[in-house]
Every structure is written in structure tokens, then in C-alpha cells.
């Protein structure tokens, strides 16, 4: 029996000595890691604190405090590495490191660090997308903005800039769809930039249809352009298309709006004549006469205007 007790005592002493040795090694690893951290060597610091954590974890209660210290430091180092990648515009590397940071921080119950990392991910993805858009890599930018929207589906600015990328690529339907979503996710008081982009996209579609003599579509898209942001070019296309479709009231209103928006237009006299003919077709003799009279002395359109004045028996 005495031999058994002696054997147990030797075993316990040996275990105590081994635990103390393990703790001393863990402490030294943490000390060296801290020195690396002080000098800015984040990679060595991260490796050292991870080794110290592993070593302290096998030391039971004696290692508890060091374990907690390591768990508090490691996510912060990972976050600092991610921020360094952000500063160097290494977007993909930064996102990967931020995701690792968030995962490790959550595991170590460092919620504040996890929240900061998760909050930075959409910002970095947006930086990446913006840089691709500025570099005219429209396909890459579209993909990157989609990554942003996967995380933040109500991000109106991401939809707006994705629409700009589609527009740059020549995909007007994709652009309009993105701009519509941008409008739906942008506060009313801040929608001017979105409406301008939508107006320009619809104007391009209107112009394309007008050139191919698809007047119904040209009128439809010109009016949508005007709805978002009134502009002289859309009003003129609307006027011409409506005249072709014999929609004289629509044509007259569009021409009047064009002249109001662009009173010194190079084609002012021509538009005035067309406006007079639209009003004439509507039976509005007085207004038609008034417009024809303003251009009756024009070298190019005067003769035609005077003929109309005679036909209308204007005073």
C-alpha cells in the first residue's frame, strides 16, 4: 500500500512540474508575440499569440487568464491586417481577412470586433466596385456591386452605380432596371442623381427608336425621360414622334416645352413652324397664326410661314 501511495505522489509532482513548464512556455510565447506586435510585425504576433493560446489551453485554470488575453488580442490583430490590406487597395485580400476576423472574433466572444469587421466588408466591396467602374471595367464593376447588394440589398447608391456600369457597357435595359431599384431605395429628397441617370437612359432608348423610325416607342421612351427629368432633347423627339403619329396635341405641347427649355436653339425657327402646323391641325387658329407670324421674315422658313398665314386668313 505504501508503494502505491508513493507512486501516486511521484506522478502528481511530475504532473505539476509539467504543467508549470507548459505555462512558462505559453507565457514566453505570449511575451515574444507582444514584442512583435509592438514593432508592427503583425504576422509574427498573430502566430505567437495563437501558439500561446494553444499552449495555455492545456494548462487548466492556471492558463485561463492567458487564454482570455490571447482571445482578446488575436481578432484585433486580424482586423489590423485587414485594415492594412484596405489601405493598400487589396480589396479581395481585405474581404477575406475581414471574414476571418468576424468568424474568429465571434468564436472568441469578441462581438465588438466581429461587428466592426462585418461592417467594413460592404465598404471594401464598394471601394472595389467603384475602382472598377472608374477604370471602365464595367463587367467587373457590375459583379462587384452585386456582391455589395448581396450583403446590403437596400443600398440605393450601389444600384445607382451598377446602373452606370450597365450604361457604360451599353446595356440600357440593365441600366434602367438598376436605376429603378436605386430610385426605390433612395429617400425622396436625394433622388435627383438617380432621376437624371434614368432620364438619360430613357433618352438614349428614345433616340435609338427614333433613328429606326419606331415612332411609338420613341414617343414612349421620350416621355419617360421627361417624367424623370424634363429636357429639351426628349421634348424634341417627343414632338417629332407625336407629329408622325398624328398626335398633334402631344406634339404641340412637346414643341412648346422644347422652345421654353431652349429659347435660343439653332433649330428654333423650324420647331416654331412645326408647332404652328400642329396647332393648325388641332384647329387652334389664333395660336397657329401667332407662331407663323414670328417667323414670316425668316430667309429659310418665311415663305412657308407666309403661305400658312394666307391659308389660315390670319389678321
Provide the pLDDT confidence category of residue 248 given band limits of 50, 70 and 90.
Answer: very high
Query: Which class for 214: exposed (0-12), middle (13-18), buried (19 or more C-beta within 10 A)?
Result: middle
pLDDT at 4: 30
CA distance 15 to 28: 20
Residue 13 has pLDDT above 90, yes or no: no
CA 184 to the chain's CA centroid: 14
What average pLDDT does the segment 239-258 reach? 97
- Stated pTM of the model: 0.81
CA distance 237 to 209: 10
What's the pLDDT tens digit per position in 125-165? Answer: 999 999 999 999 999 999 999 999 999 999 999 999 999 99
Can you give 105-125 as a three-state secondary structure string? HHHCCCHHHHHHHHHHHHHHH
What average pLDDT does the segment 38-64 reach? 85
Are the CB atoms for 183 and 213 separated by under 8 Å? no
Q: Considering only 19-33, 174-188, 286-300, which range has the smallest mean pLDDT?
A: 19-33
Q: Which residue in 274, 278, 279 sits closest to 304, CA to CA?
A: 274
* Domain spans, the chain: 1-110, 119-184
What's the pLDDT tens digit per position in 191-234? Answer: 999 999 999 999 999 999 999 999 999 999 999 999 999 999 99
CA 182 to the chain's CA centroid: 9
Helix (H, G, I), strand (E, B) or coil at 213: coil
Are the CB atoms for 197 and 179 separated by under 8 Å? yes
pLDDT at 17: 42
Q: Which residue in 168, 100, 157, 101 sits closest to 127, CA to CA?
A: 157
pLDDT at 262: 96
Residue 90 has pLDDT above 60, yes or no: yes
Residue 3 has pLDDT above 60, yes or no: no
pLDDT at 51: 87
Are the CB atoms for 112 and 72 separated by under 8 Å? no
Are the CB atoms for 149 and 111 separated by under 8 Å? no
- Domain 119-184 annotated CATH 1.25.40.10: yes
Q: Considering only 12-21, 39-48, 266-275, 299-308, which range has the smallest mean pLDDT?
A: 12-21
CA distance 209 to 115: 50
Amino acid at each position: 500500500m505504501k508503494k502505491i501511495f508513493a507512486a501516486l505522489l511521484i506522478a502528481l509532482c511530475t504532473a505539476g512540474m509539467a504543467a508549470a513548464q507548459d505555462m512558462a512556455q505559453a507565457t514566453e510565447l505570449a511575451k515574444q508575440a507582444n514584442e512583435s506586435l509592438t514593432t508592427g510585425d503583425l504576422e509574427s504576433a498573430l502566430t505567437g499569440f495563437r501558439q500561446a493560446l494553444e499552449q495555455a489551453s492545456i494548462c487548466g485554470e492556471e492558463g485561463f487568464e492567458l487564454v482570455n488575453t490571447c482571445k482578446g488580442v488575436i481578432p484585433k490583430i486580424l482586423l489590423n491586417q485587414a485594415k492594412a490590406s484596405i489601405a493598400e487597395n487589396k480589396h479581395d485580400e481585405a474581404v477575406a481577412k475581414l471574414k476571418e476576423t468576424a468568424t474568429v472574433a465571434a468564436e472568441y466572444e469578441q462581438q465588438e470586433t466581429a461587428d466592426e469587421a462585418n461592417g467594413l466588408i460592404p465598404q471594401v466591396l464598394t471601394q472595389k466596385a467603384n475602382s472598377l467602374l472608374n477604370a471602365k471595367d464595367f463587367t467587373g464593376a457590375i459583379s462587384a456591386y452585386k456582391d455589395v447588394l448581396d450583403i446590403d440589398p437596400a443600398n440605393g447608391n450601389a444600384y445607382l452605380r451598377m446602373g452606370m456600369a450597365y450604361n457604360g457597357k451599353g446595356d440600357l435595359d440593365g441600366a434602367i432596371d438598376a436605376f429603378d431599384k436605386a430610385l426605390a431605395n433612395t429617400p425622396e429628397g436625394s433622388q435627383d442623381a438617380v432621376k437624371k441617370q434614368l432620364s438619360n437612359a430613357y433618352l438614349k432608348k428614345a433616340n435609338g427608336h427614333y433613328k429606326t423610325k419606331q415612332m411609338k416607342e420613341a414617343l414612349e421612351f421620350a416621355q419617360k425621360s421627361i417624367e424623370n427629368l424634363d429636357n429639351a432633347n426628349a421634348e424634341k423627339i417627343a414632338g417629332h414622334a407625336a407629329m408622325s403619329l398624328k398626335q398633334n396635341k402631344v406634339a404641340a405641347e412637346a414643341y412648346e416645352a422644347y422652345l421654353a427649355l431652349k429659347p435660343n436653339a439653332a433649330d428654333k425657327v423650324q420647331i416654331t413652324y412645326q408647332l404652328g402646323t400642329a396647332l393648325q391641325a388641332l384647329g387652334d387658329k389664333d395660336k397657329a397664326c401667332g407662331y407663323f407670324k414670328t417667323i414670316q421674315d425668316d430667309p429659310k422658313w418665311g415663305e412657308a410661314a407666309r403661305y400658312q398665314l394666307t391659308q389660315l386668313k390670319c389678321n
